[in-house]
């Protein structure tokens, strides 16, 4: 039995997940805790950062108890967290100032449009992307403009702001660490991607004082130690990433040209480009950094993916549980002409914050099974849009894609995806790859494994899904999907 372990924390939009990984790569325990989202008005999405921290503490203790691993056997802790969400807190008291603004929140839409109209070329020269609503920087600016407690706290020098990873690092360390990893810092859109330092012109454009923001550090740094009161003794925190690159690492997508798709609340398609690479609807990203070596990727995203299945359950009550989806969708061979566009929070690809959710093609013959299958097909078509945009920017051939996340558990969805995108898919045996990636990054940083590739080689072989449909049918279906997307676009204007 192993005596050396690392712990990986994945703080996501809907769940906080924790894994305990042995030195032979075995996941010996896992836990998950649900995180609440709040919707105060249309297009606004908020979360309670105190609740987020509580789920991390509960999840860590639960996973360690289930693993029957003592704290003294932990070599390190790795952390990944949702990217683009903005948290503001009192640094001395570690008490939050209002709710966190989720990456899904689009209240900064008009601000971003105004900035892009006035400064697009210059902003893109620094960030390789226009300002977008799912980045942290504009959200911090909005809070400075609209929340008096934030304004006064910043004026007094007591309040700081940053991504979720920074908030968690502050709490894990008892307030001693105020830092952001490269990937999370890059998605503030306040950082020059090539130097990975805050750029004075970007700070000036958004009017954000540098002193309220965390220091920027590589993923593989030894950030510090947990507060002794948290686990009984201090444990090194040796790997911090955004959840999207962490998911790619945990899935084994560590080489240039690798493509990974994470299907959680949203959908995130990441191509490891090896260099800064942007384009319409794409966000350049730092995949990994250990010391001076920086690996870049390009990210295409959709605000709603697995959340559409949750809508089937909680919104229209067509299913009782997400596990029923495969059985119901398998009752029919197709959607019967029904097309579902899951743009509940606008479209990221093609970019359109004014798009709305759409279901079209209904008839008297439409059944529950047709609708459930249409939702899965809509998720797949959305990925096809993301893939086409990312592949055009990368401009090199792609033959396989690794798929992880909760929604990837659906065999029906995986086959629909393979048929829709037209490439072979691989689903790792362990699909909570973000938590595994955080553990892997931490373990490599303390020498428990020699490389990220070594950790990945220890995992069980993935399940393969090959395209089965004809090219003609694939393209005809995609044309119909594009017609439906055009109907959904520019609706909420």
Same domain, yes or no: 241 and 306? no
Q: What is the per-residue pLDDT for 206?
A: 94
Q: Is residue 432 part of a domain?
A: no
Least confident segment among 270-279, 316-325, 347-356, 370-379:
347-356
Same domain, yes or no: 311 and 174? no
CATH number of the domain that residue 118 is part of? 3.30.420.40
Q: What is the per-residue pLDDT for 293?
A: 74
Domain boundary among 251, 272, 293: 251
Q: Is residue 211 part of a domain?
A: yes
Same domain, yes or no: 150 and 44? yes
Same domain, yes or no: 205 and 121? yes
Most confident of 119-128, 292-301, 396-405, 474-483: 474-483
The per-residue pLDDT for range 56-96, each reduced to its tens digit, is 999 999 999 999 999 999 999 999 999 999 999 999 989 99
Same domain, yes or no: 325 and 393? yes
Considering the chain, what is the average pLDDT of its residues? 91
Q: What is the per-residue pLDDT for 381?
A: 93
Distance separating alpha carbons of residues 309 and 316, to the nearest angstrom: 10
Least confident segment among 101-115, 172-186, 277-291, 311-325:
277-291
Alpha-carbon separation of residue 352 from 14, 23, 346 (angstroms): 24, 45, 6
Q: What is the per-residue pLDDT for 424?
A: 92
As for how many domains the chain has, the answer is 2
The per-residue pLDDT for range 13-44, each reduced to its tens digit, is 989 999 999 999 999 999 999 999 999 998 89
The per-residue pLDDT for range 225-236, each reduced to its tens digit, is 999 999 999 999
Peptide bond into 50 cis (omega under 30): no
Q: What is the mean pLDDT of residues 245-267?
A: 87
Same domain, yes or no: 20 and 107? yes
Q: Assess whether pLDDT exceeds 70 at residue 1.
A: no
Q: What is the per-residue pLDDT for 275?
A: 82
Same domain, yes or no: 65 and 149? yes
Same domain, yes or no: 120 and 54? yes
Question: Token match 């959840």: residue?
Answer: 243
300 and 349 Cβ atoms separated by less than 8 Å: yes
Q: What is the mean pLDDT of residues 420-440?
A: 91
Q: Is residue 286 part of a domain?
A: no
Same domain, yes or no: 243 and 315? no
Q: Assess whether pLDDT exceeds 60 at residue 368.
A: yes
Q: Is residue 376 part of a domain?
A: yes
Domain span at 340? 302-427+462-488
Q: What is the per-residue pLDDT for 2?
A: 64
Q: Which residues pair with 175 in a beta bridge?
A: none
Q: What is the mean pLDDT of residues 104-108?
A: 91
Q: What is the mean pLDDT of residues 355-379?
A: 93
Least confident segment among 29-38, 402-411, 463-472:
402-411
Q: What is the mean pLDDT of residues 255-267?
A: 86
Same domain, yes or no: 232 and 313? no
Q: Is residue 371 part of a domain?
A: yes
Same domain, yes or no: 247 and 306? no
Q: Is residue 114 part of a domain?
A: yes
Nearest to 414 by CA among 374, 464, 462, 473: 464
Q: Is residue 289 part of a domain?
A: no
Q: Assess whether pLDDT exceeds 90 at residue 461.
A: no
Q: Is residue 80 part of a domain?
A: yes
Same domain, yes or no: 20 and 105? yes
Q: Is the pTM of this model over 0.75?
A: yes
Binned at pLDDT 50, 70 and 90, residue 154 comes out as: very high
Cβ-in-10-Å burial (0-12, 13-18, 19+) of 155 comes to: exposed
Distance separating alpha carbons of residues 52 and 34, to the nearest angstrom: 9
Distance separating alpha carbons of residues 265 and 262, to the nearest angstrom: 9
Binned at pLDDT 50, 70 and 90, residue 300 comes out as: confident
């Amino acid at each position: 039995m192993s005596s050396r372990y690392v712990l990986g924390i994945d703080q996501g939009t809907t769940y906080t997940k924790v894994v305990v990984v042995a030195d032979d790569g075995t996941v010996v325990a896992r836990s998950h805790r649900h995180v609440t989202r709040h919707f105060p008005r249309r297009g606004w999405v908020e979360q309670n950062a105190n609740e987020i921290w509580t789920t991390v503490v509960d999840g860590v203790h639960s996973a360690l108890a289930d693993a029957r691993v003592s704290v003294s056997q932990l070599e390190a802790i790795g952390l990944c967290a949702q990217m683009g969400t903005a948290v503001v807190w009192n640094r001395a008291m570690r008490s939050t100032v209002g709710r966190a603004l989720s990456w899904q929140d689009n209240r900064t839409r008009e601000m971003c449009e105004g900035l892009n109209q006035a400064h697009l070329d210059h902003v893109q020269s620094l960030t390789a992307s226009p300002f977008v609503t799912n980045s942290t920087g504009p959200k911090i600016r909005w809070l400075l403009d609209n929340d008096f407690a934030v304004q006064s706290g910043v004026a007094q020098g007591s309040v700081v702001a940053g991504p979720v990873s920074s908030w968690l690092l502050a709490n894990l360390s008892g307030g001693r660490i105020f830092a952001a990893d490269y990937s999370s810092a890059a998605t503030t859109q306040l950082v020059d991607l090539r130097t990975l330092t805050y750029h004075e012109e970007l700070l000036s454009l958004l009017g954000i004082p540098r002193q309220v923001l965390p220091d920027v550090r590589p993923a593989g740094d030894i950030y510090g130690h947990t507060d002794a009161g948290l686990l009984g003794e201090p444990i090194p925190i040796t790997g911090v990433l955004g959840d999207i690159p962490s998911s790619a690492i945990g899935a084994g997508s560590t080489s240039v040209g690798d493509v990974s798709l994470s299907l959680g609340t949203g959908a995130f398609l990441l191509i490891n480009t090896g260099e800064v690479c942007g384009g319409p609807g794409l966000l350049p990203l730092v995949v990994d950094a250990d010391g001076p070596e920086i690996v870049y990727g390009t990210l295409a995203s959709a605000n709603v993916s697995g959340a559409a299945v949750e809508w089937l359950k909680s919104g229209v009550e067509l299913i009782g549980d997400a596990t029923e989806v495969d059985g119901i969708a398998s009752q029919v061979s197709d959607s019967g002409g029904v097309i579902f566009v899951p743009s509940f929070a606008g479209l990221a690809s093609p970019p359109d914050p004014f798009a709305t959710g759409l279901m079209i093609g209904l008839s008297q013959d439409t059944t529950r099974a047709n609708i459930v299958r249409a939702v899965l097909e809509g998720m797949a078509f959305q990925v096809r849009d993301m893939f086409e945009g990312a592949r055009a920017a990368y401009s090199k051939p792609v033959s396989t894609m690794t798929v992880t996340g909760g929604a990837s558990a659906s065999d029906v969805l995986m086959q629909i995806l393979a048929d829709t995108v037209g490439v072979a898919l691989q689903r790792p045996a362990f699909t909570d790859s973000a938590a595994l990636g955080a553990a892997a990054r931490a373990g490599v940083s303390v020498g428990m494994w020699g490389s990220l590739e070594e950790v990945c080689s220890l995992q069980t072989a993935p399940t393969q899904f090959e395209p089965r449909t004809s090219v003609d049918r694939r393209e005809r279906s995609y044309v119909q999907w594009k017609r439906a997307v055009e109907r959904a676009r520019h609706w909420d204007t």
